[in-house]
C-alpha cells in the first residue's frame, strides 16, 4: 500500500483546544493517521505529522484548511516563527510504494482544490515548484503575511493557484513535495568549538560540501562536547553513512574522534538499511528481504 | 499487535499440487498469513513461512498436521533431506510484541494439542526443549524415520507429548521455539579455499568462535571466489556487524579482503538497524524512531 507522509504547519500554537480540535477532525478521515502533533507557544505554530494514501489526503487536507481558516486570523496572530498563511506550509513526502512524482502530482491537485475552495493564493515549492526561484520556502515566505499584498503585486510573485491577492485573514499557503528530512547530529570527543564549525563548513552544501546537507557547529550546554548539527534533506542522494564517514575523516584532520551520533525524531527505515548495506558491503539486498516489510505487504 | 513467525518443514517437495493445497488451507485461517512456500524436489521437502498471532497458530498448526498426515506417508517417501516426520519440524519465532517465553508456551500448548489429536509423538526442541540433550534438532532427528521405533525404545528418547512409539505413516514431529535464523554469506576477494575454511573455523561456535554462528568455507561454482557461508542463530546476542568485522579481520591476516556479503532470504529489521547503530555510533536510538514502525503502530 502506498504511504505518503504530510507535515502541515499551521499558525496556531497557543490555543491547545483549537489545535486538538483540528487534529481530531483529521483523525476521523478514513485512512488518515495523525502520528504526531507538536505545538510551540513561543512560535505560535503547530506541526502535524500525518500519514495516509492519496485518497486520504484529498479529503483530509481541504478539511485541515476549512478548520484552520475558521479559527486562525493572521491580522491578529503573533509569534516568533515567520509565516505567510494560517495554514503556512504543507509538504507531501514519499515514504513507501509511492514516487516523488506521485507526491508532486498530489500536491498540485490539492493546491488547485484548496485555492478554489477557499479563494486562497497557493504557491508550490520544493520538488513541486513551478520555477527554481520558488524551490525554497524561505524565498516564498520572505516578507511574511504583513508584506504579502505588496509582494504579490510583482508579476514574479503571482501565485500558482488562486486569486492574485492575499486572503484577508489567512494570507497564502505554500504546498509542495519533498524528501523526508533527517535531523542528524554528530558529537565530537572535544570541547573545541572551532573544530565543529570547521567541519560544518566543510560538509554543508552552502560552503562547498555535500549537496543535501545543512550543518552548523555548536557547543552542547550540558556537556564539554561540541556537535555538528545537521539536516539531511535527501538521504537517497546524500546518505547518512557518507556524512558520517566524511565528518569522521575531517575530525581526524584535527586529531579529534567522533564520540557518538544521534538521529532526532523519525527516520525512514531505508536510511538505516542503506547504512547497513554500505558497512556490511551487502550486495543484491532488497527491502523486500526485511521481514517486517514482507509481513506488511502480505 | 503481536507477530509470531512459524516455519514448518513438511516432508513433501515433489507433488506441487499437494503442497499448494496445504498452503491454501492455511491461507483461509483468520489472521494467518502464508508469506512464502519453498519446495525442493531433491530434498522432497517444503518450507512454509507463516506469520500471525497465537490464536491464528492454535487453529492453523493442527490444520497443517491434519492435511499433511492425510497425504504424506514416510514409509514410501524418499528424499535427500533427513526427516523424522511427515510434519518434520515446527519452530515458532518471536518477531514483534512477543517474547521468546510466549513462543515457548505456544509451542508447548500446540505440541500437546497435536500429539493428542493425531496420536503422534512430539519432541520439543531449541528454546522449548525439556533438556539440553534435546536442544539441537540434529540430535533428535538422528536415525531418521527408519530408526525412530528403535530409538524411542530408549528411556531418554521418550517423547515430550503423545504415544511412546512412532505414528505408522507420520513418524514423530519436532516442535519448538527459536530466534530468527539469518543466512549470511561473506565472499572473499580470493579463490583460496583454505582461507575461507580457516576463517569459518575461527568464527564458528563449534570450533571456538562466536556463540551463535554456524559456518563453513566453500568455493563458488560460477566465480573464482570463496565464501564463508553462515547461519546466525541469534542476531541479538551475536550481531551481524560483529561477524562481519571479525571475518574482515581474520581475512586480513591472510592478505585477503572482503569482496561483498549477502543476506539470503528474510532478515528482521532490527538486525539491520543494529548494524546502522553500531557503525554510525548512534546513541539513544529506538526502534520507535523508524517511521514505518510508528506508522504500523498508529
pLDDT at B119 (0 to 100): 98
Chain B: residue nearest A260 by CA? Answer: B281
CB contact under 8 A, A269 and B292: yes
Q: Does A206 touch chain B (CB under 8 A)?
A: no
**Which DSSP state fits A168?**
T
Mean pLDDT of B119-129: 97
The reported pLDDT for the residue numbered A1 is 66
Query: Does B128 score more than 90 pLDDT?
Result: yes
Percentage of chain B beyond pLDDT 90 is 89
> What are the sequence ranges of the domains in chain B?
3-177, 182-291
| CATH code of the domain occupying B182-291 | 3.30.70.670
- Using a CB-CB cut-off of 8 Å, the residues of chain B touching A295 are 3, 33, 35, 51, 95
Return the percentage of chain B with pLDDT > 70, whole number: 99
Beta-carbon contacts of A47 under 8 Å, excluding residues fewer than 6 positions away, are A7, A8, A9, A36, A37, A38
pLDDT of residue A298: 66
Q: Cell 496445504 sits at which residue? A: B22
pLDDT tens-digit series, residues A19-32: 999 999 999 999 99
CB contact under 8 A, A276 and B280: no
Query: What's the CATH code, domain A182-292?
Result: 3.30.70.670
**What's chain B's average pLDDT?**
95
b/e for A250-275, b at 16 or more Cβ within 10 A? bbeeeebebbbbbbeebbbbbbbbbb
**Cβ–Cβ contact A282 with B under 8 A:** yes
* Nearest residue of B to residue A266, measured between CA atoms: B289
pLDDT at B228 over 80: yes
Query: What is the CATH number assigned to the segment(s) B3-177?
Result: 3.30.990.10
Q: For residue B184, what is the nearest residue in chain A, using CA coordinates?
A: A282
Which residues in chain A have their CB less than 8 angstroms from residue B5's CB? Answer: 291
Q: Is A53 strand, coil or helix?
A: coil
List the beta strands (DSSP E) in A114-243: 122-126, 173-177, 182-188, 213-219, 226-232
Contacts of B261 in chain A (CB under 8 A): 280-283
Query: Which of A97, A272, A289 should one mutate to test binding to chain B, selecting the residue with the greatest count of B CBs within 10 A?
Result: A272
Which of B3, B272, B278, B296 to substitute to test the interface with A, most A CBs within 10 Å? B272
Higher pLDDT, B105 or A36: B105
Could you tell me which chain B residue has the CA closest to the CA of A288? B266
User: Is A222 at the interface with chain B, CB within 8 A?
Assistant: no
In this complex, which of A96, A285, A298 lies closest to B263 when CB atoms are compared?
Answer: A285
Say yes or no for a CB contact (<8 Å) between A280 and B180.
Answer: no
* Tens of pLDDT, residues B204-213: 999 999 999 9
Asked whether the beta carbons of B232 and B243 are under 8 A apart, the reply is yes
pLDDT at B2 over 90: no
B239 contacts chain A (CB < 8 A): no
- Chosen for mutation from A291, A294, A297 (greatest number of chain B CBs closer than 10 Å) is A291
A295 in reach of chain B (CB within 8 A): yes
The per-residue pLDDT string of chain A (298 residues; one tens digit each, 9 = 90 and over) reads 688 999 999 999 999 999 999 999 999 999 999 988 989 899 899 999 999 999 999 999 999 999 999 999 999 999 988 999 999 999 999 988 899 999 999 999 999 999 999 999 999 999 999 999 999 998 999 999 999 999 999 999 999 999 999 999 999 999 999 999 999 999 999 999 999 999 999 999 999 999 999 999 999 988 999 999 999 999 999 999 999 999 999 999 999 999 999 998 889 999 999 999 999 999 999 998 998 888 877 6
- pLDDT number for residue B298: 66
The pLDDT assigned to B288 comes to: 87
Residue A128 grid coordinates:
513541486
Please compute the mean of the pLDDT values over residues B84-112 and round it to a whole number.
96
pLDDT at B1: 66
Residues A298, B33: C-beta atoms closer than 8 Å: yes
Cα B226 from Cα B223, distance rounded (Å): 8
For B1-24, give one letter per residue: b (16+ CB within 10 A) or e: eebbbbbbbbbbbbeeebbeebbe
The predicted-structure confidence for B138-166, as pLDDT tens digits, reads as follows 899 999 999 999 999 999 999 999 999 99
- Looking at residue B296, its pLDDT comes to 77
Match 486520504 to its residue by C-alpha cell: A56
Question: How far apart (Å, rounded) are the C-alpha atoms in residues A254 and A265?
Answer: 30
Q: Which residue of B has its CA nearest to A247?
A: B280
Query: Does A298 reach chain B within 8 Å, measured CB to CB?
Result: yes
A276 touches chain B (CB under 8 A): yes
**Closest CA in chain A for residue B244:** A280
B269 and A269 within 8 Å at the Cβ level: the answer is yes
Contact A266 B5 (CB under 8 A): no
> Which residues of B fall within a CB distance of 8 Å from A266?
289-291, 294
Average pLDDT over residues B25-33: 96
Decide if A292 and B292 are in contact by the 8 Å CB cutoff: yes
- CB contact under 8 Å between B244 and A51, yes or no, is no
> Is the CB of A273 less than 8 angstroms away from the CB of B276?
yes
0.90 cut: is pTM over it? no
What is the C-alpha to C-alpha distance for residues A215 and A202, in angstroms, rounded to an integer?
9
Query: Which chain A positions have a beta carbon within 8 Å of B294's beta carbon?
Result: 35, 266
d(CA A126, CA A124): 7
Specify the residue for cell string 531418554.
B156
- Alpha-carbon gap, residue A152 to A291, rounded angstroms: 51
Residue B65 half-sphere exposure, CB side, CA atoms within 13 Å?
Answer: 28
When scoring B295, B296, B298 by the number of chain A Cβ atoms within 10 A, the one with the most, hence best to mutate, is B295
Q: Which of A93, A111, A81 is nearest to A7 (CA)?
A: A93
| Contact (CB<8Å) B95/A261 | no
Task: Residue window 172-201, chain A: list those with CB within 8 Å of chain B.
Answer: 180
pLDDT single digits (tens) A176-200 = 999 999 999 999 999 999 999 999 9
Q: Which long-range contacts (CB under 8 A, 24 or more apart) does A247-252 make?
A: A247/A186, A247/A199, A247/A203, A250/A198, A250/A199, A250/A202, A250/A203, A251/A188, A251/A195, A251/A199
Amino acid at each position: 500500500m502506498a504511504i505518503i507522509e504530510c507535515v502541515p504547519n499551521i499558525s496556531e500554537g497557543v490555543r491547545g483546544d483549537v489545535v486538538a480540535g483540528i487534529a481530531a477532525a483529521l483523525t476521523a478521515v478514513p485512512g488518515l493517521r495523525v502520528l504526531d502533533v507538536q505545538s510551540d507557544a513561543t512560535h505560535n505554530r503547530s506541526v502535524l505529522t500525518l500519514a495516509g494514501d492519496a485518497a486520504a489526503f484529498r479529503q483530509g487536507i481541504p478539511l485541515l484548511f476549512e478548520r484552520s481558516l475558521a479559527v486562525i486570523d493572521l491580522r491578529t496572530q503573533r509569534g516568533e516563527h515567520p509565516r505567510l498563511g494560517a495554514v503556512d506550509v504543507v509538504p507531501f513526502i514519499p515514504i513507501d510504494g509511492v514516487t516523488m512524482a506521485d507526491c508532486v502530482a498530489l500536491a498540485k491537485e490539492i493546491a488547485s482544490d484548496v485555492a478554489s475552495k477557499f479563494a486562497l493564493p497557493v504557491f508550490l515549492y520544493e520538488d513541486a515548484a513551478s520555477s527554481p526561484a520558488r524551490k525554497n520556502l524561505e524565498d516564498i515566505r520572505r516578507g511574511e503575511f504583513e508584506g504579502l499584498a505588496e509582494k504579490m503585486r510583482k508579476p514574479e510573485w503571482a501565485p500558482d493557484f488562486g486569486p492574485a491577492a492575499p486572503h484577508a485573514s489567512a494570507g497564502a499557503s505554500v504546498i509542495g513535495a519533498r524528501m523526508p528530512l533527517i535531523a542528524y547530529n554528530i558529537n565530537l570527543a572535544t570541547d573545541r568549538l572551532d573544530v565543529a564549525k570547521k567541519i560544518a563548513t566543510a560538509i554543508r552544501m552552502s560552503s562547498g560540501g555535500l549537496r543535501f546537507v545543512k550543518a552548523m557547529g555548536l557547543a552542547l550546554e550540558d556537556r564539554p562536547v561540541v556537535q555538528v548539527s545537521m539536516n539531511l534533506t535527501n538521504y537517497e542522494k546524500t546518505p547518512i553513512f557518507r556524512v558520517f564517514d566524511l565528518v569522521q575523516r575531517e575530525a581526524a584532520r584535527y586529531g579529534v574522534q567522533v564520540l557518538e551520533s544521534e538521529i532526532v525524531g523519525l527516520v525512514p527505515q531505508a536510511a538505516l538499511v542503506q547504512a547497513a548495506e554500505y558497512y556490511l558491503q551487502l550486495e543484491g539486498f532488497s527491502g523486500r528481504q526485511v521481514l517486517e516489510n514482507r509481513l506488511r505487504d502480505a
